[in-house]
A and B are shown apart, each in its own frame.
Chain A
Amino acid sequence: MVERIVGMVLAGGKGERLYPLTQDRAKPAVPFGGKYRIIDFTLSNCLNSGIRRLNLLTQYKSLSLNRHIMQGWNIFNPELEEYINLIPAQQRVGEDWYLGTADAIYQNIYVLQMDRPDLVLILSGDHIYKMNYMEMIAYHKENRADLTAGVIEMDKNLSRHFGVLQVDEEFRIVGFEEKPEIPKTIPGHPDLILANMGVYVFNTEILVRRVIEDAKDPDSQHDFGKNVIPAMVPQDRVYAYSFRDENKKTAKYWRDIGTLDAYYEASMDLVAIDPVFNLYDQEWPIRTYHPPIPPSKTVFFEEYEGGRIGGVYDSLVSGDCIISGGKVIRSILSPKVRIHSHSEVRDSILMDGADVGRHVRVNRAIVDKGIRIPDGYKIGFNLQEDAQKFMVTESGIVVISKGTILS
């Protein structure tokens, strides 16, 4: 018998530490890699794994996310019982927003009742990685598990940032600690921990029972990692699945892009000569919305002294960009970016429709959608001055938020 599997994608993350990129959009809708949104990576994993029944649970600032899903992911065939549902927090069960990851499922039990899947795959819509969920599901079945949690090996010094799972020799989970100072390491590997990825395979009936119990517990924070898994460990078959990376590099790649600096670093990795995260693997395509836009172009090749040269080096350029007599170095351009004459953009991320005037210098900046940078403007050269007008991160990245008017 083929199991019926439904994916529940938690896409309501506020992404407070990514502010101001999350000023007008939920974290899964934040642009990444020029033409993608963060959620495209998880949804591509589903598609590439053959999981085509998906419920996206949204809540805060979901307009931009909804539009992206409608435009780019409306590809499922209802005749084959495939679907992607956008489910806003409906306050069907009480008047609370989702109180935690487990509560998001609890408040949507009726969705599971309507579909009655055998297994539920719970995913976070704001992580970047490549994973074949069917391998995890096969492992889940092999172990006759009630719950299998995806884990990634990490250096034990990073334990303060993650939920850490403790396992026995068979990889059965025997304990869980949230962000411990002194973590329990992997048996036989005293330097490594298993970090919880927030990827769960549940037998549906157990899931429903456990989230109802959790909902009734007034002391719970209603989180899978903090509350539901620890409550299941003594009574259910709970296993860890060591994440097998489809990215095929030496180190496994899985990022929760939690902060602006982490966002910047993960983005800049993409423009490296040999990026850790490979967007060019034809066996693992990353899908997104493709608007009907023209190719990008560069303009001017005036090979004389003082002449203008429009050029792009070590960069990602999306469609419909015009680089006209300016230079772009180690940067990421989303669609419809304009760079005008005598300007230079270095080590920066320019989102859709950003317009860089003439004689502009941009250095180590994130420029959100539709920002017009006037002629002669300098960004990222005097951080003290920049900090009076814009957000400047700890590592000195200037972030110009959507709607900012520069003069």
Chain B
Amino acid sequence: MEKVLCVDDDLSLLRLYQDELREEGYKVILAKDGKEALAKFEKEKPQVVVMDIRMPVMDGIETLTTMMGKDRQVPVILNTAYPQYRDNFMTWGAEAYVIKSSDLTELKQKIREVLNKRKKRAKS
């Protein structure tokens, strides 16, 4: 089963991700900030990371940078309410940038794309 690590300081949103992504057939791991995400990232080795940017303790940009330092191929989907971070070069290492919404259709679509890309890369 493919593992998705979801990182957000909004716990109700995390629960929503958990329910909906489980239904899609993923194993869902949750973290409430960047620091916790890094620990779970190392332990669980998820195939894809869905991450908020504005979070306490360690924000999504620093977490992304650190994750890429450990594994440059790690696919991270940044999931934020703020479109302005899209211009920040430090977010460009992410595979995708999704604007937060209670409708998870786009996010689910991006997760599938990222996983397919990863599989293709592994084959070639």
Contacts and interface: CB of A to CB of B under 8 A. Distances in A.
Interface of A: 91-95, 109-110, 112-113, 208-209, 212, 215-216, 218
12 contacts: A93-B68, A94-B69, A94-B72, A95-B69, A109-B89, A110-B90, A112-B89, A113-B89, A113-B90, A208-B89, A209-B92, A218-B73
B70 interface: yes
B91 to A, nearest CB: 9
Contact of B88 (A93, A113, A212, A218): A113
Q: Which of A113, A208, A218 has the most CB of B within 10 A?
A: A113
Contacts of A212: 92-93
A93 B68 CA distance: 7
A112 B70 CA distance: 22
Count class of interface residues, chain B: 10 to 19
B117 to A, nearest CB: 11
A116 to B, nearest CB: 8
Contacts of B70: 94
A212 B89 CA distance: 10
A216 B69 CA distance: 11
A288 to B, nearest CB: 34
Given A94-B70, A218-B72, 11 more contacts: A93-B68, A94-B69, A94-B72, A109-B92, A109-B93, A110-B89, A113-B88, A113-B89, A208-B92, A216-B93, A218-B73
A213 to B, nearest CB: 10
A93 B65 contact: yes
Interface string B71-111: 01100000000000000111011000000000000000000
Contacts of A112: 89
A91 B69 CA distance: 9
A110 B62 CA distance: 11
